[in-house]
Amino acid sequence: MIEKYAEIIGENELDAIYRIAEKLKGLSVLHVNSTPKGGGVAEILSKLVPMMNELGINTQWKVIRGDNEFFNVTKSFHNSLQNGSGNVNDETFAVYEKWQDINASEIPLDYDVVFIHDPQPAGLIKVRKKGKWIWRCHIDISNPYPKVWEFLRKYVQQYDAMIISSSVFGREDLTIPQYVIPPSIDPLSVKNREISRFTVERILRKFEVDPDRPLVTQISRFDRAKDPIGVISAFKGLKKHIDAQLVYLGSPASDDPEGDQVYQETVKAAEGVKDVHLLMLPPDSDLEVNAFQRGADVVMQKSIKEGFGLTVSEAMWKRRAVIGGNTGGIPLQIIHGYTGFLVNTPEEATHYLIYLLRNRQIREKIGQDAREHVRNNFLMTRELRDYLMVMLLSIQG
279-334 pLDDT per residue, tens: 999 988 999 999 999 999 999 999 999 989 999 999 999 999 999 999 999 999 99
Residue 48 above 80 pLDDT?
yes
Question: What pLDDT is stored for residue 212 in this prediction?
Answer: 97
- Please give the residue that has the higher pLDDT: either 90 or 237: 237
In tens, the pLDDT along 118-137 reads: 999 999 999 998 999 999 99
> 62 with 149, same domain?
yes
Among 1-10, 125-134, 254-263, the range with the most confident prediction by mean pLDDT is 125-134
> 47 with 109, same domain?
yes
Average pLDDT, the chain: 95
Question: Would strands 298-301 and 321-325 be described as parallel, antiparallel, or unpaired?
Answer: parallel
Residue 317 covered by a domain: yes
Calculate the dihedral angle through the C-alpha atoms of 42, 47, 53, 57, rounding to the nearest 10 degrees: -70
Residue 38 above 80 pLDDT?
no
Residue 87 covered by a domain: yes
> 368 with 390, same domain?
no
- Residue 31 main-chain phi, psi, to 5 deg: -110, 135
> 223 with 312, same domain?
yes
> 383 with 361, same domain?
no
Distance between CA atoms of residues 211 and 228, nearest Å? 23
> 161 with 61, same domain?
yes
Average pLDDT over residues 219-239: 96
316: left (phi over 0), alpha (psi -120 to 50) or beta: alpha
Residue 89 covered by a domain: yes
> 179 with 200, same domain?
no
> 139 with 285, same domain?
no
Residue 299 covered by a domain: yes
Distance between CA atoms of residues 390 and 386, nearest Å? 6
Average pLDDT over residues 39-54: 93
**Burial category of 111 from C-beta neighbours within 10 Å (exposed 0-12, middle 13-18, buried 19 and up):** buried
Triad 45, 222, 332: Cα angle to 5°? 55
Triad 374, 205, 246: Cα angle to 5°? 60
Task: Give the chain as a 3 state SS string.
Answer: CHHHHHHHHCHHHHHHHHHHHHCCCCCEEEEEECCCCCCHHHHHHHHHHHHHHHCCCEEEEEECCCCHHHHHHHHHHHHHHHHCCCCCCHHHHHHHHHHHHHHHHHCCCCCCEEEEECCCCHHHHHHCCCCEEEEECCCCCCCCCHHHHHHHHHHHCCCCEEEECCHHHCCCCCCCCEEECCCCECCCCCCCCCCCHHHHHHHHHHCCCCCCCCEEEEECCCCHHHCHHHHHHHHHHHHCCCCCEEEEEECCCCCCCCHHHHHHHHHHHCCCCCCEEEEECCCCCHHHHHHHHHHCCEEEECCCCCCCCHHHHHHHHCCCEEEEECCCCHHHHCCECCCEEEECCHHHHHHHHHHHHCCHHHHHHHHHHHHHHHHHHCEHHHHHHHHHHHHHHHHHC
Residue 188 covered by a domain: no
Distance between CA atoms of residues 191 and 354, nearest Å? 27
Number of domains in the chain: 2
How far from chain centre, in Å, is Cα 272? Answer: 31
Residue 254 above 90 pLDDT?
no
Report the predicted TM-score, pTM, of the whole model to 2 decimal places: 0.89
Q: How confident is the model at residue 156 (pLDDT cuts 50, 70, 90)?
A: very high
Average pLDDT over residues 78-100: 92
> 202 with 170, same domain?
no
Distance between CA atoms of residues 397 and 392, nearest Å? 8
Residue 18 covered by a domain: yes
First to last CA, the chain: 31
Contacts of 345 (CB under 8 A, 6+ apart): 230
Q: What percent of the chain has pLDDT over 90?
A: 91
Residue 190 covered by a domain: no
Distance between CA atoms of residues 204 and 191, nearest Å? 15
Question: What pLDDT is stored for residue 39 in this prediction?
Answer: 78
Residue 309 covered by a domain: yes
The whole domain housing 328 covers 195-375
CATH code, domain with 304: 3.40.50.2000
> 285 with 177, same domain?
no
> 163 with 263, same domain?
no
> 30 with 54, same domain?
yes
27-41, 103-117, 320-334, 358-372: which range is least confident on average? 27-41
Mutual angle of helices 228-239 and 259-269, in 10-degree steps:
20
